[in-house]
Amino acid sequence: MDVYDITIIGGGPSGLFGGFYAGLRGLKTKIIDVLPELGGQLTALYPEKYVYDVAGHPKILAKDLAKNLGIQSQLFKPAICLDEKVINLIHQQNDSVWQVLTDKSSDHYTKSLLLALGAGACVPKKLDLDYNPAFENTCIFYSVKNKDFFRGKNVLIIGGGDSAVDWANEFSTYAKHVTLIHRRDQFRAVQTSVEEMAKNKVDVKTFYELKEIKGKDRIEGVVIFDNRTGKEEALPIEAILINIGFVINLDFLKSWGLKMEGNAISVNEKMETNVPGIYAAGDICSHPAKLKLIATGAAEAATAVNFAVTYINPSAKAFPGHSSNLNLSI
Ligand SMILES: Cc1cc2nc3c(=O)[nH]c(=O)nc-3n(C[C@H](O)[C@H](O)[C@H](O)COP(=O)(O)OP(=O)(O)OC[C@H]3O[C@@H](n4cnc5c(N)ncnc54)[C@H](O)[C@@H]3O)c2cc1C
């Protein structure tokens, strides 16, 4: 049985920074993520957007930040398992070792865990509409991996949250025409972005929903309808971006005996959950001063890992010392 000191579930920014710190503290580390690439929300949801509020980076593309975090996390060569969804945890050997079960393997054993699951293995909510499945990722998208694709096109964006409104604002500068439809007139997006959208070249249609996507091999227009009157309208759309939220299922965390606050795991100031040896950091955790940010998730992950060191070895100190005293060849 190959037992790791710490297994980090989630390879988003919090998990990756936790992976770096675990290596720095000499822990035998494994990172598991359900997605095929590291980076969490940075790579899955907004790789082409700039981030301005990460220490030491005045302005950085999310995908570049994810890449840097990946490089930093791999300095101490943790085991990395991608495309693998954690589905269960089992106590082993009088509770001193955990067995982590995934959809691919039951061969993960660990003395401690850092849960950095973000919003969980979130799957974008799909359109409840018949369309050619080949359209997905060719002209119907649930996230933007290549914003150049939308250049010069007639784009339809569906949704009223931050992603939908932010992309509408950005595409308005280089798409041929942008229409945003939202089923209500209240937006979840921040007010300043909604106000910016009103000034930009975005055709905003509230109370509108998508009825039909025309075309067999490519999109040849859509039909939208007013959900109050049923009035239909045809639009000459070529590309669709759907940002209508995620399907999140975190019920399995409760079955691991973890104390939850809504959809988040309760932690104390050491990032300990109520289950000894299990720590949480990043968007998934909840404490009185919680802010869901990359910067705070990184700090929480560093705290969690340094206290996990004291759990694994009670005579160790939580304070890691200063990394500037190290001489790492990078
Ligand atoms: C559009 C947008 C813009 C944003 N802009 C900013 C910004 O400018 N500044 C900022 O600070 N924050 C920003 N955020 C928020 C920021 O991205 C999150 O706070 C951050 O990604 C949280 O990191 P995390 O590692 O905790 O979780 P995540 O990034 O969500 O990563 C969690 C990882 O866990 C994996 N996972 C989940 N469940 C399982 C499972 N069962 N098995 C295996 N793997 C699993 C997921 O696949 C994922 O890769 C933005 C968010 C969005 C959506």
Per-residue pLDDT tens over the stretch 131-181:
888 999 899 999 888 899 999 999 999 999 998 999 999 999 999 999 999
> What Å distances lie between residue 196 and 28, 74, 150, CA to CA?
48, 40, 20
Q: CA-CA distance, 293 to 316, in Å (whole number)?
A: 29
> What Å distances lie between residue 131 and 141, 265, 300, CA to CA?
13, 38, 42
CATH class of 124-245: alpha beta
CATH number for domain 3-122+248-325, candidates 3.10.580.10, 3.50.50.60, 3.30.365.10, 3.40.50.150: 3.50.50.60
For ligand 1, atom 39, name the residue with the nearest CA: 121
Contact partners, residue 235, CB within 8 Å, separation at least 6: 154, 156, 179, 221, 222, 223, 224
Tell me, in angstroms, the distance from the centre of ligand 1 to residue 270's CA.
Answer: 21
Phi, psi of 30 (to 5 degrees): -130, 140
pLDDT, tens digit, for every residue of 56-86?
999 999 999 999 999 999 999 999 999 999 9
Pairing of strands 285-286, 278-280: unpaired
Q: Which of 66, 105, 67 is nearest to 83 (CA)?
A: 105
pLDDT at 44: 85
Tell me, in angstroms, the distance from the centre of ligand 1 to residue 62's CA.
Answer: 11
What is the token pair recorded at 270? 């050491």
**Chain-centre distance for alpha carbon 86:** 15
Q: CA torsion angle for 18, 24, 25, 29 (degrees, to 10)?
A: 60
pLDDT at 61: 95
- The pTM of this model reads 0.79
Question: Counting atoms of ligand 1 from 1, which one is nearest the CA of 296?
Answer: 11
| Residues 161 and 182 sit within 8 Å (Cβ to Cβ) | no
Q: Give the number of other CB atoms < 10 A from CB of residue 173.
A: 10
Q: Give the percent of the chain with pLDDT over 90.
A: 80
pLDDT, tens digit, for every residue of 95-124?
789 999 999 999 999 999 999 999 887 678
Q: CA-CA distance, 7 to 27, in Å (whole number)?
A: 10
pLDDT, tens digit, for every residue of 201-237?
999 999 999 999 999 888 999 999 999 999 999 999 9
- Report how many helices (DSSP H) and strands (DSSP E) the chain contains, helices first: 7, 22
**Chain-centre distance for alpha carbon 47:** 11
Task: Please report, for the chain, the start and end positions of each structural domain, with discontinuous segments joined by +.
Answer: 3-122+248-325, 124-245
pLDDT at 248: 74
Tell me, in angstroms, the distance from the centre of ligand 1 to residue 20's CA.
Answer: 17
| Mean of all residue pLDDT scores within the chain | 94
Pocket test for ligand 1, best of 30, 31, 41 (most atoms within 8 A of CB): 41
Tell me, in angstroms, the distance from the centre of ligand 1 to residue 12's CA.
Answer: 6
- The SS3 assignment for 288 reads coil
pLDDT at 122: 66
